[in-house]
Amino acid sequence: MKAFYIEQEIRVATYDIDFAGHVSNISYLRWLEDMRRSMFDQYSPFHEFLERGLTPVLVSTDIKYRKGVRLFDKPKCSMWISGITKTSLTVNACITVAGELRTEVEHVGVFVNLTTLKPVRLPKEFADAVNASAAITSRI
């Protein structure tokens, strides 16, 4: 499954670079947060969940750093939803430079009720949209 697929170029800023001359781990997390926001903006607007008292929340992040990204590299990030259950979603991402894999990511997220702060089932319209997007992607 590659639902809600997006791809964006990332600009490496000087503040992304650590003392060793490559991108700091915290910058990767910020880039991934920006990508998830872009994915929701494009496919399932975030504000609609907030209006219903729900918000997506990450429960785990697994990042495999294959090779560092440096200041003048031109990284590209791809992100997609790779699976859903009744209560969770799995989001994968990869960062490449000139076609070379540099970083692989897997997030697991849930939706939380903002009043109770407890996880809830995925909203039906969200699950339906993910499944519809996966069906379209699989035909491409």
Amino acid sitting at position 132: A
Q: Specify the fold of 3-139.
A: Thiol Ester Dehydrase; Chain A (3.10.129)
The residue ranges of every structural domain in the chain are 3-139
Query: Could you read off the pLDDT of 55-105 as tens digits, one per residue?
Result: 999 999 999 999 999 999 999 999 999 999 999 999 999 999 999 999 999
Query: Distance between CA 56 and CA 35 in Å, rounded?
Result: 14
Phi, psi (deg, nearest 5) at residue 52:
-95, 5
Residue 122 DSSP label: P
Residue 137 confidence (pLDDT) = 66
Query: What's the distance, Cα to Cα, between the start and end of the chain in Å?
Result: 12
pLDDT tens profile 99-109: 999 999 999 99
- The answer for residues whose C-beta is within 8 angstroms of residue 135's C-beta and 6 or more apart is none
What pLDDT, on the 0 to 100 scale, is given for residue 43? Answer: 95
Phi, psi of 36 (to 5 degrees): -60, -40
C-alpha torsion sign, points 29, 55, 79, 1: positive
pLDDT at 84: 97
pLDDT of 46 above 90:
no
Q: Which runs of E-coded beta strand occur in the chain?
A: 3-9, 54-65, 75-84, 88-97, 100-113, 119-120
Name 67's Cβ contacts closer than 8 Å, sequence gap at least 6: 100, 101, 102
Q: Reduced to 3 DSSP states, what percent helix, strand and coil does the chain have, rounded to the nearest 5?
A: 30, 40, 25
